[in-house]
Amino acid sequence: MKPYLLGIDIGTSACKAAVFDRNGEVIASASEEYPVFYPHPGWAEQDPQDWWRAVCTAIKRMAADGVDLSEIAGVGIDGQSWSAIPVDQAGNVLARTPIWMDTRAQDICDEYNERLGADRIFRTAGNSLQPSYTTAKILWYRRNLPEVYRRTYKILQSNSYIAFRLTGSMTQDISQGYGLHCFDMRTGAWDEELCEALEIPRTLLPDIYPSHAVIGTVTDQAAEESGLTAGTPVAAGGLDAACGTLGAGVVHPGETQEQGGQAGGMSICIDAYQADPRLILGYHVVPGRWLLQGGTTGGGGVMRWLEREFGAYEREAGKGCGKSSLELFNEAAEAVGPGCDGMVFLPYMSGERSPIWDPDAKGVYYGMDFGKTKGHFIRAAMEGVAYSLHHNLEIAREAGAEAEVLRAMGGSANSLLWTQIKSDITGKPIVVPSSDTATTLGAAILAGVGVGMYGSFEEAVGLTVKEKRRHEPNPEHREVYERNYQIYLELYDQLKGMMKKYRKR
């Protein structure tokens, strides 16, 4: 068998691609950025064709660096959640897709929850109908883009669109099914009755495949555009959080991933249906497993925003000392003590998902005075994201899913300070595997299992996932963090009425 696997990650800010050997060692990697469009308040869109161009560019860059693409045994793809890509029968994209941050369809969700009954929808889907999900976006197309809706042949997810561009097959993997409320979370199949009730024709929805199933091979056209070898097998792929969970080594019930990418949150592996309307339930990419998830809008993207808007000095200063602006941000935050001298941040930078499900929620800094520095703003942001993680873990515990140890992934895990803050605030030990490559590794593992390079997911994880470091919670910080966490909860409770009253649509 050929020695390499290719993992492709369609993230919110960039495509990442990496070639791995059987032991999970990175042979080469590349990334390509693309824009997010914000045409109106509450809207967040991307062009899937930008994703494909980024995929092709990243693969060709690895080839230029000396990787023999003909030695790739299989391709796995993961992607951001809750896309709704309308394509015609030839596969042409008919409109930019609203992404997971998009909340334009709140009124439509309110209408359908009242008409059909929120409980009825939840009983089948295992998730409440919210504007971030794929369902709401399809309904929005029908109402607001009737010509696009009329021409739509299939609705695709982010990873399934790239799989289509590679193979010509239009598919739906099981882990992304949770974005559609006519998906039966107990059986992993489309529910015809809810399709009809939601007025979503079953014909719009591709057939469902296991995430590791080989759904086709690279076509001649895709080979010409991407540089891959025609005939290379391609797996269906899955949700980025689920692939990152696999790449962090989570395959058994009770194991938990902590997500530190653009979005934040956690994924607890369970082996039985266990839904809670405050959280997110989806299938794992590992067969026979579900993920009880907390998904927040304020993850690593908060730090990207802070650095972009307020990091000009650090970008310039870093040139003289050989450090990145984020490293200097980290140092500034480290100079501030735990609890940030009473400063608290609500990280609701694009509304908020679980557990409050409020598209009108806003980011808030509380506790500013003349004694506060830039370091306070940075550390408060780190702590605020950690409070949102703690909030989701508390709700999961109430729902009966207890996390013991968190396995961190994503760029945020590279910050020892931020990871320690999360450990202190949640009271959980945090293990850090190869955080930067967990998601692409998970996608590659899907391909590896699909083509037979690995006999099982357990074998794959045993060979590829290596622990880099471990953080233990510091009990000396518990009191100050618990006090600020209560302020965090009360701030939202006091402000949510105002946020809704003065919302902009």
- Decide: residue 251, CB within 10 A, 0-12 exposed, 13-18 middle, 19+ buried: buried
Question: How far is residue 321's CA from residue 410's CA, in Å, rounded to a whole number?
Answer: 25
Q: Place 434 in a pLDDT band, splitting at 50, 70 and 90.
A: confident
- What's the pLDDT tens digit per position in 241-282? 999 999 999 999 999 999 988 889 999 999 999 999 999 999
- What's the pLDDT tens digit per position in 336-355? 999 999 999 999 999 999 99
Q: Average pLDDT in the 107-129 region?
A: 97
Q: Average pLDDT in the 365-387 region?
A: 98
What pLDDT does residue 39 have? 97
Name which CATH class applies to 300-432+474-501: alpha beta
Task: For the chain, give the longest Cα–Cα distance.
Answer: 64
Q: Place 435 in a pLDDT band, splitting at 50, 70 and 90.
A: low
Residue partners of 213: CB distance under 8 A and separation at least 6: 235, 236, 450
Alpha carbon 272 to chain centroid, angstroms: 22
Residue where the block lists tokens 């500034």: 332
What pLDDT does residue 263 have? 87
What pLDDT does residue 38 have? 96
pLDDT at 503 over 90: no
CATH match of 4-248 with 1.20.1440.230: no
Alpha carbon 179 to chain centroid, angstroms: 12
Q: Average pLDDT in the 44-54 region?
A: 98
Question: How far is residue 425's CA from residue 25's CA, in Å, rounded to a whole number?
Answer: 33
In order, the DSSP letters of 25-39 are -EEEEEEEE---B--
Query: Which two three-digit tokens encode residue 136?
Result: 């709401």
pLDDT at 411 over 90: no
Domains 4-248 and 300-432+474-501 equal at CATH topology level? yes
What pLDDT does residue 330 have? 97
In order, the DSSP letters of 309-358 are HH-HHHHHHHHHHT--HHHHHHHHHHTSPTTGGG-EEE--BTBB-TTT-B
- Decide: residue 370, CB within 10 A, 0-12 exposed, 13-18 middle, 19+ buried: exposed
Q: How far apart are the first and last CA of the chain?
A: 54
Question: How far is residue 23's CA from residue 32's CA, in Å, rounded to a whole number?
Answer: 25
Q: Average pLDDT in the 304-324 region?
A: 96
Q: Average pLDDT in the 209-227 region?
A: 98
Instruction: Locate the domains of the chain by residue range.
Output: 4-248, 300-432+474-501
Q: Place 114 in a pLDDT band, splitting at 50, 70 and 90.
A: very high
Question: How far is residue 494's CA from residue 419's CA, in Å, rounded to a whole number?
Answer: 29
Query: Which two three-digit tokens encode residue 431?
Result: 């293990």
What pLDDT does residue 104 have? 96
Query: Which two three-digit tokens encode residue 255?
Result: 């194991």
Q: Average pLDDT in the 457-468 region?
A: 95
pLDDT at 505 over 60: no
Q: Percent of the chain beyond pLDDT 70?
A: 99
Q: Average pLDDT in the 434-448 region?
A: 91
